[in-house]
Amino acid sequence: MSVSDFLARLQGKRAAYDTTDEVAELLDAQFERVRDSRLPVHLQRTAHLEERLSFQPGLVDARARTADLALYAEALITAARSAGHADLAERLDDVAEALHGAVSELAAATHATVPVPQVPLAYAA
């Protein structure tokens, strides 16, 4: 790690890499770190879920986080286009589309947690 990379990390910034091999190594290590630290937490927090409605709060939260990522992707698209990086913007368009699709799927899953609707007594025949 160079001195400038070290100083950047102290400021909460990440280094940028010059080769796809370095990026692939970074992304692989990142996934392993996230998986190893977060999967046990997620499994523990979801172990008690049994009733359909108990899934709903987590799905609502997951949808909100995913929607935020979709909006961040939209902002990255704008920045890439403004900087003249049309090819990167096109790739980010695919990312944003996938994230918006995930938002929709999470909404559908959230709706699926609602038990079969009951007819209010006022409308019962």
pLDDT in tens, the chain (125 residues): 567 666 666 777 777 888 999 999 999 999 999 999 999 999 999 999 999 999 999 999 999 999 999 999 999 999 999 999 999 999 999 999 999 999 999 999 999 999 876 655 555 44
The domain in which residue 70 lies consists of 50-114
Write out the two tokens for 96.
């944003």
Number of domains in the chain: 2
Do residues 89 and 39 share a domain?
no
Do residues 68 and 102 share a domain?
yes
Do residues 94 and 54 share a domain?
yes
Do residues 79 and 41 share a domain?
no
Do residues 43 and 55 share a domain?
no
Do residues 31 and 81 share a domain?
no
Phi, psi at residue 116, to the nearest 5°?
-50, 125
The reported pTM is 0.79
Residue 6 has, within 13 A of its CA and on its CB side, a CA count of: 3
Do residues 43 and 60 share a domain?
no
b/e burial code for range 87-99 (CB count within 10 A of at least 16 → b): eebeebeebbeeb
Residue 64 has, within 13 A of its CA and on its CB side, a CA count of: 6
Do residues 99 and 62 share a domain?
yes
Q: Determine the Cα–Cα distance for residues 107 and 70; give it in Å rounded to an integer.
A: 14
Give me the helices (H) in the chain, please: 3-10, 20-46, 52-82, 86-111
C-alpha pair distances (Å), 6 with each of 9, 17, 18, 61:
5, 14, 17, 34
User: Does 27 reside within a domain?
Assistant: yes
